[in-house]
Amino acid sequence: MGALDYLPNFCTVISTRRKRKPMQTVEIKVKMDCDGCERKIKNAVKSMRGVKSVEVNRKQSKVTVSGFVEANKVLKRVNRTGKKAEFWPYIPQHLVHYPFVSGAYDKRAPAGHVRNVVHAFPAANVAEENMASLFSDDNVNACSIM
């Protein structure tokens, strides 16, 4: 055992690498009136670290940001431009079972979209849940065949 055996104990390198954020797409609703507004928002978001692409749809008042970013930070950056912004509140109408329930229908929504509300989706069917738990491993008295 020489001095070289103890050398790695003194020369440890600690990695300062941060955990990488997952790739995600953030959709934000922003009221834009002109090309200047559109360019201002696009440049503000494009300058963020981790942004891969920015798509602006002025007709729908929608900004789509893709990259390794956090949704709240993108929303704050858009709000700093002086425009009122919120997360995209609409979902396609064909995904909703009850699109005309109170609060789901919105006149300002883009064509084929409704607001994302809890009441637009059906409640879980109790009979289906009972059938699913009938042969469950958690319920030891469920089936005598097992």
- Average pLDDT for 56-68: 92
Residue 84 domain flag: yes
**35 in any annotated domain:** yes
Whether residue 24 has pLDDT greater than 80: yes
Is 45 within 8 Å of 74 (Cβ atoms)? yes
Higher-confidence position of 133 and 28: 28
pLDDT in tens, 91-129: 888 877 776 777 777 777 888 888 877 665 566 555 555
- Domain at 67, CATH number: 3.30.70.100
Same domain as 114, residue 72: no
Q: Answer yes or no: pTM beyond 0.75.
A: no
Whether 9 maps to a domain, the answer reads no
Query: Quick one: which of 38, 45, 57 has its CA closest to 111?
Result: 57
Instruction: Write down the pLDDT at residue 85.
Output: 92
pLDDT digits (tens, 9 = 90+) for 14-23: 666 667 778 8
Q: Which of 40, 62, 88 marks a domain boundary?
A: 88
Please check whether residue 116 lies inside any domain of the structure: yes
1 lies in some domain? no
Radius of gyration of the CA atoms of the chain, in A: 26
Average pLDDT, the chain: 79
pLDDT category, 134, cuts 50, 70, 90? Answer: low
Domain count of the chain? Answer: 2
Boundary-marking domain end, from 88, 104, 128: 88
Domain identity same for 55 and 77: yes
In a domain, 2, yes or no: no
Q: Please, are residues 99 and 105 in contact by the beta-carbon 8 Å criterion? A: yes
In a shared domain, residues 66 and 106: no
Which residues form the domain of 113?
Answer: 91-146
22 three-class SS: coil
Tell me, yes or no, whether 133 lies in a domain: yes
The tokens for 34 are 């002109």
Query: Which of 88, 121, 137 is a domain's end point?
Result: 88
Q: Is 11 contained in some domain?
A: no
- Looking at the structure, do residues 56 and 111 belong to the same domain, yes or no? no
